Structure 1
Amino acid sequence: MSQLTPEQEIELKTIFDDFDEDNSGTLKVEELRKAAQYFGLNPSEAEVDEKLSEHDINKDGALDFEELKALIADMYKDPEQICTEMREAWKTVLQDVELEDGEKLTKDQLYNILKDRGDDPLTMEDVNDIFADLDRDGDTETITTEELNALFSS
């Protein structure tokens, strides 16, 4: 696998930080599961445990950023595919919501989109966590088009 470009690494680090709910510098099983679900994957807890144990080099029960990059390297041959698929997953999730510049996505809107997706759909608690992680303006009740657009820029 080729190396991530600096831009891709920054984007992956931003995503990593968004799902590091306890700001520990690592992603634990539940945080990894939420991240996977967020991007349209629906691994079981056992599948997440398996990936974690395969890539948890220091055996601390979580993946740090370097370990996550190794996991991504095993999953994807082309690093550009990583960022593209993440952006496309978001766009797919949001295709039913048409927001004009300046409009905001509400928790209820996102919950209604995600509640029936996959074998283990996200809960309202998960949506609250997503909003808290993506929020850049301090309003954890909505996500602005600018905050969403930041996810899609490369």
Structure 2
Amino acid sequence: MGEVSEEQKNEWKRIFDEHDTDEKEGLSRDEVKQVMCCCNQNPTDKEVDEMMTAMDKNSDEKVSFEEFCTFMQQLPDPAESMKEALEVFEGQDGKLTREKLKEILSTDDDDVVEEVLNAADINNDGFIDKEEFIKFIQN
């Protein structure tokens, strides 16, 4: 990732300060877990430990704001991830079929495919188009 905008850095500072509840100039393991939960993740203890190891470069058992920013810069850009996800529609006539969805989800479970298709296929035509996909992802 290149330069971080002042706006992005301010957002990271807001998130950091909001979760640094003990105000000890760093995020504890439990506070890192809270950050992950706020990002719609439900981490296991092992995943929290791995996250702490990745973030806490000086091994002082807390994550400083600088360490937090360095880690955040390494995360994938959500806009880029959405672009990559939408590229799946290229060559698909702009629509995802049940078969392609099964392939993308890497599952043979027809119930899972049907559940996703039913949730995302707003116009009930049996396909997921780009607009439906975007709405599904945003929800």
TM bin, normalised by shorter chain, reads 0.5 to 0.7
Contact kept? 1:55, 1:63, Cα under 8 Å: yes
**Distance in 1 separating the partners of 2:25 and 2:79:** 22
**Against the structure 1 CA distance between its residues 50 and 18, is the aligned structure 2 distance closer, same or farther, given a 3 Å change threshold?**
same
Deviations 1:42-64 (A, max 9, x none): 11121111121122121101110
TM-score by length of 2: 0.52
Tell me the CA shift for residue 74 of structure 1: 2.1
**Against the structure 1 CA distance between its residues 80 and 30, is the aligned structure 2 distance closer, same or farther, given a 3 Å change threshold?**
farther
Coordinate RMSD, CA, aligned: 2.1
Could you say which residue in structure 2 is the equivalent of 1:20? 20
TM-score by length of 1: 0.48
Deviates more, 1:68-77 or 1:23-32: 68-77
**Against the structure 1 CA distance between its residues 78 and 37, is the aligned structure 2 distance closer, same or farther, given a 3 Å change threshold?**
closer
Tell me the CA shift for residue 79 of structure 1: 9.1
Deviations 1:19-73 (A, max 9, x none): 0010011111110111111121111121111121122121101110111112112
Could you say which residue in structure 1 is the equivalent of 2:64? 64
Relative CO higher for 1 or 2, CA cutoff 8 Å, sep ≥ 6? 1
Could you say which residue in structure 1 is the equivalent of 2:40? 40
Q: Is there any run of 5+ residues in structure 1 with no aligned partner, and where?
A: 82-154
SS in 2 for 1:61: coil
Sequence identity of aligned pairs in percent?
A: 31
SS in 1 for 2:69: helix
Contact kept? 1:73, 1:79, Cα under 8 Å: no
**Distance in 1 separating the partners of 2:26 and 2:80:** 23
**Distance in 2 separating the partners of 1:17 and 1:80:** 27
Tell me the CA shift for residue 78 of structure 1: 6.5
**Distance in 1 separating the partners of 2:79 and 2:52:** 20
**Against the structure 1 CA distance between its residues 36 and 14, is the aligned structure 2 distance closer, same or farther, given a 3 Å change threshold?**
same
Report how many residues are paired. 81
Q: Is there any run of 5+ residues in structure 2 with no aligned partner, and where?
A: 82-139
Could you say which residue in structure 1 is the equivalent of 2:73? 73
Pairing 1:124-143 to 2, within 5 Å after superposition: none
**Distance in 2 separating the partners of 1:26 and 1:75:** 20
Structure with the bigger percentage of helix: 2
Deviating 4+ runs (over 3 angstroms): 77-81
